[in-house]
């Protein structure tokens, strides 16, 4: 009896897993389409959701501070205030956050590219084979960083669209795999 019930339990678990995978795949397809069609609105909504999460985290820190009986840890109230300020900023000014992200990426790419270029030039001086490839790639990273800085909105929209396409393909692939394995 135990073997039969464990077998049924396993089969039920597999069916539930299968159903969950279908729901996740369909959700990925839908979210991917939303990201592709409404990239700017989706990013705006995500930043606002992140702001709301920061506000909830702020409330947790502040509640923990006020719930302490004896020695109050000031770090809780400081973190609570910082998270509240960041959360409010994310909710009120999501456009600023969206615009800052590509700028930060652009600066990081340029700094990383310059650092890599310095190392690649050193490799070239040391006559290391393939150093020229590293020099070219480093320059390419610097150029990409400059492009991101000059066109932050376009790059952000493009990244969101690529994420949407990736979710769409992943969801469709999951559905095809599930259909093939179910058959």
Of 94, 90, 110, 105, the residue nearest 158 (C-alpha): 105
CA 100, CA 87: separation in Å to the nearest integer? 15
Statement: residue 8 has pLDDT above 80: no
pLDDT single digits (tens) 139-176: 999 999 999 889 887 877 788 888 889 999 999 998 98
Q: Is the pLDDT of residue 86 over 90?
A: yes
Determine which helix (DSSP H) or strand (DSSP E) holds 128, and give its type and residue range. Answer: none
């Amino acid at each position: 009896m135990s073997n039969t019930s464990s077998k049924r339990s396993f089969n039920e678990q597999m069916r539930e897993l299968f159903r969950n995978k279908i729901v996740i795949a369909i959700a990925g397809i839908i979210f991917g389409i939303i990201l592709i069609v409404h990239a700017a609105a989706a990013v705006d909504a995500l930043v606002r959701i992140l702001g709301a999460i920061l506000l909830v985290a702020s409330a947790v820190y502040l509640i923990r501070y006020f719930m302490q009986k004896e020695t109050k840890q000031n770090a809780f109230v400081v973190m609570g205030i910082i998270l509240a300020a960041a959360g409010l900023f994310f909710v009120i000014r999501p456009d600023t956050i969206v615009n800052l992200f590509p700028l930060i990426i652009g600066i990081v790419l340029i700094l990383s590219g310059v650092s890599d270029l310095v190392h690649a030039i050193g490799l070239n001086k040391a006559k290391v084979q393939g150093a020229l490839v590293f020099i070219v790639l480093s320059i390419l990273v610097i150029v990409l960083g400059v492009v991101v800085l000059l066109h932050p909105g376009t790059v952000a929209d493009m990244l969101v669209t690529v994420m949407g396409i990736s979710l769409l393909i992943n969801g469709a692939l999951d559905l095809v795999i599930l259909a093939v394995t179910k058959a």
